[in-house]
């Protein structure tokens, strides 16, 4: 039977198990939107294409399934770019579909033409420009295969209008054949054997767990390995939730704003076991003094990560879940008790803390949210101080419950991502912990949340500053607060104007009841929480310093 390219596209998405896409219509995607008009495929209309990309990203991070977004050519496509780059940096499986001008108009600077495959070359795992309707079904299959297998990442499909409008036979593309695309699932047994020996010989081992544990579903194996040898586990921000934050072996987050005891443990260990990590500069700071005396083991699906930033003694390339399982199966249990005692002492001597006073402290907001939800919510964040406070003071116990922009550090990510999370998890509590700066970068998505009755809660930790930049100006630029103070709108009225609920928390004593009230409403709620204006995120490793030298 002959179908239009657009029909084949939508049918192919359904065949890949897609239930929801996030998008925004426009000229060259009219054939696709005409099919969506009466399709069973659910389409969420955002108010900006960036919102659609982040929503697809949040959906993917919460569900583990690939997120899908759709935009028109030119400005629609370029508006997706930040969202695609964000997904690329955090290895999130995403398929972005863009319309393109008709093939005869390509390359002529036509109306709303942008070379989106060229633009997204460095920020996609792969991308396609489909030039023939016959290629659509195969391209969609390949795109989903590439996005979700190996190290996940975003894939873009650019589809000219005449391709989506053209008619052809819809043939099943069959299994994927990509001779140039391969990845190691199974780790090399010799590497595993070396890893086992190193663990057995070490006296002061530390696990450094990252986003790969969460996306690779290896949290169970990680817990098993840690408990087997009573090894302390430090997680990166992306790894939060990959190991229960309330577990006695957890030393919390490491790195620039990590806990002192995590950074001390890393600095004094004799074996560092990196699992699904990439030795990012926000974690390692001064590389030469990162785990200086330790044997470095690195377990990752992506061979290119081995040795990219840090010299590695024992590489284990493969799926982290399989690699951990094989290590566990060969390992003899043994406990490094002296080491464990040392860490317990550090934990007692250098706890995470802040001074309370009459004002609401941002840390208290996060702690209260954690208490009220009993760690049983999906938390998204924007980027900045509130994000670091959330990483420090919310206890994440389950994977995929902390959803935040790590690698790219995208302000404006958290709220649209929360919309995607709520779509993926309709029965769960979803809270975007936001800053007053970040929230205004995608605040238009309040209309989307209200429109689809997605009861996302936004807690604006409002200090009237771009807080993290202000903190750096305070510490490193002699308190010259250049363009970091914000004159904000009335967030409560703004929420109400969009048809959401707005609540202002005026005093410390109202904080808990306001949070409870917000959670009780089955509607989107904006909580405006004015906090101490010049609170800083501590501990902190100043740029270029080794991670054991911490301020605060």
Partner 1 sequence: MLHTLTVLVENSPGVLARVAGLFSRRGYNIDSLAVGRTEDPEVSRMTIVVDGDDRVLEQVTKQLHKLVDVIKINDITADEYVDRELVLIKVNADHSQRVEVIQICDVFRARIVDMGRKTLTLECTGNHGKINALEETLRPYGIKELVRTGKIAMVRGTKNTGYQDIGTKEEN
Please identify, using beta-carbon distances, which residue of 88 and 491 lies nearer to partner 1: 88
- Tokens representing residue 374 in the block: 């009993």
Q: Which of 3, 125, 161, 347 is catalytic?
A: 161
DSSP state letter for 471: H
Phi, psi of 455 (to 5 degrees): -80, 50
- Tokens representing residue 109 in the block: 């600077």
Decide: 439 and 524 in contact? Cβ < 8 Å. Answer: no
CA distance 17 to 254: 37
Please identify, using beta-carbon distances, which residue of 180 and 358 lies nearer to partner 1: 180
The answer to the question of residue 118 lying near partner 1 (CB under 8 A) is: yes
Encode 422-449: b = buried (16+ Cβ within 10 Å), e = exposed. bbbbeeebbbbbbbbbbbbbbbbbbbbb
Please identify, using beta-carbon distances, which residue of 118 and 220 lies nearer to partner 1: 118
- Binding residues among 404-463 for partner 1 as defined by CB under 8 A: none
Q: Which of 2, 111, 167, 186 is catalytic?
A: 111
**Region near partner 1 per CB under 8 A, out of 64-72, 296-304, 359-367, 442-450:** 296-304
Q: Give the shortest CB-389-to-partner 1 separation in angstroms.
A: 34
Q: Give the shortest CB-312-to-partner 1 separation in angstroms.
A: 11
What is the DSSP pairing of strand 167-169 with strand 2-4?
A: antiparallel
Phi, psi of 490 (to 5 degrees): -80, 105
- Binding residues among 29-88 for partner 1 as defined by CB under 8 A: none
Report DSSP letters for 333-352, one per residue: P---HHHHHHHHHHHHHS--
- Binding residues among 298-357 for partner 1 as defined by CB under 8 A: 302-304, 306-308
The rounded radius of gyration (Å) of the Cα atoms in the chain is: 24
The answer to the question of residue 497 lying near partner 1 (CB under 8 A) is: no
Q: Give the shortest CB-182-to-partner 1 separation in angstroms.
A: 6
Please identify, using beta-carbon distances, which residue of 81 and 495 lies nearer to partner 1: 81
Helix axes 511-520, 362-373, angle to 10 degrees: 50
**Region near partner 1 per CB under 8 A, out of 63-71, 115-123, 265-273, 370-378:** 115-123
Q: Give the shortest CB-122-to-partner 1 separation in angstroms.
A: 5
Q: Which of 112, 200, 342, 549 is catalytic?
A: 112
CA distance 365 to 325: 39
**Region near partner 1 per CB under 8 A, out of 2-10, 119-127, 244-252, 352-360:** 119-127
CA distance 548 to 244: 24
Q: Give the shortest CB-68-to-partner 1 separation in angstroms.
A: 19
CA distance 242 to 265: 19
Helix ranges (DSSP H) in 156-234: 161-165, 189-201, 211-215, 219-229
Contact characters 170-209, partner 1, x per CB under 8 A = --------xxxxx---------------------------
Cα 45 → chain centroid: 22
Please identify, using beta-carbon distances, which residue of 123 and 529 lies nearer to partner 1: 123
SS3 233: strand
| Short-list 3, 337, 273, CA closest to 137 | 3
Among 3, 126, 367, 457, interactor with partner 1 by CB under 8 A: 126
Decide: 20 and 59 in contact? Cβ < 8 Å. Answer: yes
Q: Give the shortest CB-179-to-partner 1 separation in angstroms.
A: 5
CA distance 85 to 106: 24
Containing 21, the helix (H) or strand (E) segment is strand 20-23
Q: Is 94 a catalytic residue?
A: no
- Tokens representing residue 231 in the block: 């090894």
Contact characters 140-159, partner 1, x per CB under 8 A = ------x-------------
Among 43, 48, 54, 125, interactor with partner 1 by CB under 8 A: 125
Please identify, using beta-carbon distances, which residue of 253 and 297 lies nearer to partner 1: 297
Among 18, 89, 129, 418, interactor with partner 1 by CB under 8 A: 129
DSSP state letter for 39: -
Please identify, using beta-carbon distances, which residue of 183 and 476 lies nearer to partner 1: 183
Tokens 């949040």 locate to 58
Q: Is 111 a catalytic residue?
A: yes
Q: Is 200 a catalytic residue?
A: no
Q: Give the shortest CB-176-to-partner 1 separation in angstroms.
A: 11
Neighbours of 210 (CB within 10 A): 28
Please identify, using beta-carbon distances, which residue of 57 and 158 lies nearer to partner 1: 158
Please identify, using beta-carbon distances, which residue of 304 and 335 lies nearer to partner 1: 304
Among 4, 98, 117, 438, interactor with partner 1 by CB under 8 A: 117
Q: Give the shortest CB-301-to-partner 1 separation in angstroms.
A: 11
Q: Give the shortest CB-302-to-partner 1 separation in angstroms.
A: 8
Decide: 232 and 222 in contact? Cβ < 8 Å. Answer: no
- Tokens representing residue 350 in the block: 């250098």
Helix ranges (DSSP H) in 170-218: 189-201, 211-215
Q: Which of 297, 388, 411, 468 is catalytic?
A: 468
Q: Give the shortest CB-305-to-partner 1 separation in angstroms.
A: 9
Containing 296, the helix (H) or strand (E) segment is strand 295-300
Q: Which of 16, 49, 268, 445 is catalytic?
A: 49
The answer to the question of residue 108 lying near partner 1 (CB under 8 A) is: no
Residues acting as catalytic residues:
49, 111-112, 161, 468
Which residues of the shown chain bind partner 1 in the complex (CB under 8 A)?
117-118, 121-122, 125-126, 129, 146, 178-182, 302-304, 306-308
């Amino acid at each position: 039977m002959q179908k239009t390219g657009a029909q084949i596209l939508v049918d192919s998405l359904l065949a890949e198990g897609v239930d929801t896409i996030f998008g925004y219509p426009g000229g060259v995607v009219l054939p696709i939107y005409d099919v969506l008009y009466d399709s069973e495929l659910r389409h969420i209309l955002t108010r900006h294409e960036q919102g659609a990309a982040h929503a697809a990203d949040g959906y993917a991070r919460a569900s583990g399934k690939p997120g899908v977004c759709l935009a028109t050519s030119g400005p629609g496509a370029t508006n997706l770019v930040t969202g695609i780059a964000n997904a690329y940096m955090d290895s999130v499986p995403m398929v972005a579909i863009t319309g393109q001008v008709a093939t005869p108009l390509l390359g002529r600077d036509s109306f709303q033409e942008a070379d989106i495959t060229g633009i997204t070359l460095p920020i996609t795992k792969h991308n396609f420009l489909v030039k023939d309707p016959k290629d659509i079904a195969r391209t969609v299959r390949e795109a989903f295969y590439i996005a979700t297998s190996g190290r996940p990442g975003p894939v873009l499909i650019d589809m000219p209008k005449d391709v989506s409008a053209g008619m052809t036979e819809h043939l099943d593309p069959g299994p994927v054949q990509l001779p140039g695309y391969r990845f190691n699932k199974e780790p090399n047994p010799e590497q595993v054997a070396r890893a086992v020996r190193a663990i057995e010989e070490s006296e002061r081992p530390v696990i450094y767990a990252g986003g790969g544990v969460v996306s690779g579903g290896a949290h169970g194996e990680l817990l098993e390995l840690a408990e087997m040898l009573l090894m302390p586990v430090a997680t990166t921000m992306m790894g939060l939730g990959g190991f229960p934050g309330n577990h006695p072996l957890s030393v919390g987050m490491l790195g620039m704003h990590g806990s002192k005891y995590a950074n001390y443990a890393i600095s004094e260990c004799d074996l560092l076991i990196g699992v699904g990590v990439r030795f990012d500069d926000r974690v390692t700071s001064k590389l030469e003094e990162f785990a200086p005396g330790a044997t470095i083991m690195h377990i990752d699906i992506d061979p290119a990560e081995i040795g990219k930033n840090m010299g590695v003694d024992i590489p284990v390339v493969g799926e982290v879940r399989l690699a951990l399982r094989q290590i566990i199966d060969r390992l003899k249990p043994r406990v490094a008790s002296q080491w464990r005692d040392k860490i317990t002492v550090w934990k007692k001597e250098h706890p995470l803390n802040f001074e309370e006073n009459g004002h609401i402290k941002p840390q208290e907001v996060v702690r209260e949210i954690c208490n009220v939800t009993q760690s049983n919510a999906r938390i998204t964040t924007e980027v900045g101080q509130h994000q670091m406070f959330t990483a420090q003071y919310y206890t994440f116990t389950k994977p995929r419950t902390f959803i935040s922009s790590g690698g790219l550090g995208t302000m404006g990510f958290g709220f649209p991502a929360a919309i995607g999370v709520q779509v993926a998890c309709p029965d769960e509590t979803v809270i975007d912990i936001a800053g007053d700066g970040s929230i205004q970068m995608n605040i238009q998505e309040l209309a989307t949340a209200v429109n689809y009755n997605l009861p996302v809660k936004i807690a604006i930790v409002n200090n009237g500053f771009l807080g993290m930049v202000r903190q750096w100006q305070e510490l490193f630029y002699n308190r010259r607060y250049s363009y970091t103070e914000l004159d904000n709108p009335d967030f409560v009225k703004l929420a109400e104007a969009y048809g959401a609920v707005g609540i202002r928390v005026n005093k410390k004593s109202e904080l808990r009841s306001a949070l409870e009230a917000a959670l009780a409403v089955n509607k989107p709620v904006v909580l405006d929480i004015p906090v101490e204006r010049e609170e800083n995120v501590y501990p902190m490793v100043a740029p270029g310093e080794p991670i054991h030298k911490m301020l605060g």
